[in-house]
Amino acid sequence: MADAKYLCLQCGGTFPEGEYTACPGCGDHKGIPADLGDALDLHITRHELRVLVMWAEFWANAHKETSPKMLKTVYGIADRLNLQDPKHGALTFSQDLADVRESFGNANVQSTFDGTLPPPERPKDH
């Protein structure tokens, strides 16, 4: 949208200046839209950005009972960040795992957000 003023952090939709009681795109009425005039050019390494985004992903997942929309917000922000430089791969842990599963379809890739892994399957002959 050429005259976009605000960005909805839930759906990624942009909309012009005006008075709103909810996002015109998704209807979210609890989130505070981002002011597109406040965009920043930051200079950090990709690794630093991954650390911040993955920390936010883990935090949002750990608090999904009390903040159910936060994980969607984190993924939306990560997706918009990744669109700026997509050739470097995923910013989130869950996308990293999805990429591994896609590359190695026969691999059994499992994890949980608390950092634990299920015990590996033992061969049946042991």
Q: Where are the domains of the chain?
A: 1-39, 42-126
pLDDT of 126 reads 41
Q: What is the pLDDT of residue 50?
A: 93
Angle between helices 93-103 and 46-62 (to 10 degrees): 100
Model pTM score = 0.75
Taking the CB of residue 78, how many other CB atoms lie within 10 A of it? 22
Compute the distance between CA of residue 126 and CA of residue 94 in angstroms, rounded to an integer.
32
Query: For 50-62, how does the pLDDT look when each residue is reduced to its tens digit (9 = 90+)?
Result: 999 999 999 998 8
Query: pLDDT tens, 18-71?
Result: 888 888 888 887 777 888 888 888 899 999 999 999 999 999 988 989 988 888
Q: pLDDT grade, residue 111 (50/70/90)?
A: low
Q: Which residue has the tokens 């976009």?
A: 4
